[in-house]
Structure 1
Amino acid sequence: MRVSLFVTCLADVMYPQVGESVVRLLTRYGCEVDFPEQQTCCGQPAFNSGYQDEAREVARNMIRAFEHSDYVVSPSGSCTGMVHHFYPYLFEDEPEWKAKAEALVGKIYEFSQFVVKVLGVKDLDAVFTEKVTYHPSCHAMRLLGVKEEPLELLSNVRGLEFVNLAHKEDCCGFGGTFAVKMADMSEAMVCEKAKNVTETGATVLVGTDMGCLMNIDGRLNKEGKPIRVMHLAELLEKGVIANERASK
């Protein structure tokens, strides 16, 4: 199965290990992974700020970058959601480009969604012996309908003690440009989220979007909370490696 990695801006610039974990896990399950170097931002910051013409040009570039891919997988429900819900909208008046946008929509997946729904894998033979809680990102959950897939993958990690996060479906306050435009409100929201995370007693917070995790991690660090923040792909890969070492 040929898969192209859409790494996203945040993973590429600040969390490259997340993209690497995605590639290594997909490769383990027989995927031939490539990385189209033409890819850039998905255009969401421009789109959310009202710059639709600029977002449209970015979208054209992304469509070209992945035009020949069989599947596209991303460690971000937010960026994948942008493609799913707003690329066809951007090209409502351009039938040819709208068709190309819809073709990309049909083959792009958030990481956990692809692993569970396309590869059909729910148990990666991973071991991770810590107390873990999970933050579901708004865009993955609400735009893509990714709700059970991350939990299914976590439920099959041996040794993992899962604890539910109170008010887990509440936004963390990041929202990309929202955190800049509405800074006070954003800070209040992430303070509430960090409080709920801390009260779980978990040593690790896991999620599927680096924007959310970066925001929550920043607040936890500011408050001096000893809670590690990890993308789901990172946790799963560490768990797979730990299990392999234990089996030798």
Structure 2
Amino acid sequence: MTLTSARPDKAFWLSAIQREAAALRAVTAVDDALASPVPSCPGWTVADLFRHTGAGLRWVAAHVVRGETGSPGDPSTDGAPTGADLLPWWDAALAAAVAALGGTAPDLPAWNWAPQDKVARFWYRRFAHELAVHRWDGQVAVGLPEPIETALAVDGVDEVLDTWLPADGGLAKTGDGVVQLIADDSEDSWIVRVRGGAISLLDTATLLPEERPLQTQVSGSASDVELALYGRVPFDILTVTGDETLLDCLRVG
């Protein structure tokens, strides 16, 4: 678990959604941006990125206000416009999502796919990171990538470890060992026990140094740690010591 005791809240995530969405939208100011391929999402153009995120925003706007824990089905890009209609459609999707999330109580019942409480709080966090990572994707496509803000990236690493990996029901690769991830631009670190196809997130606040039999240690900015976990950047841009193969077990993208 992270060493940070403060937890993000609704205001933090809503602010991040608006900030990251604005930065993604700004990508379209670059000439021919919508036609640009997205290297971190093979086969996609920036236009595809906007169709994908727009469909997700429309989906969460309709879902989060229902007050129900039954699955609403998956987001779909069917019917998403192309050409000149795409960006106005995306802008409307963002406005609808911000209004729905902003007007919804964090504890309102709402379905999610993770082994967590089925409440709306999940979706503030999820879409903050959905937009942050895809904002980075869009900026890479036009050659102007910017890191994810440190506090948001720290929460993004938390989300990978406490939500994505446990929800998968098994890691993409198996391993056996203990990994420490360190965000060297904050006071945050995580210790993860990989055993077979599963992980355990250990409490760094209570472990003594001699209780940390590390096989692998990774350090870098919180943004780079999050982006590496999402497969956006290679782990070798960070400082890595020990068994690098264990890191493949932690990738979710």
Q: TM-score by structure 1 length?
A: 0.29
Larger helix share, 1 or 2? 1
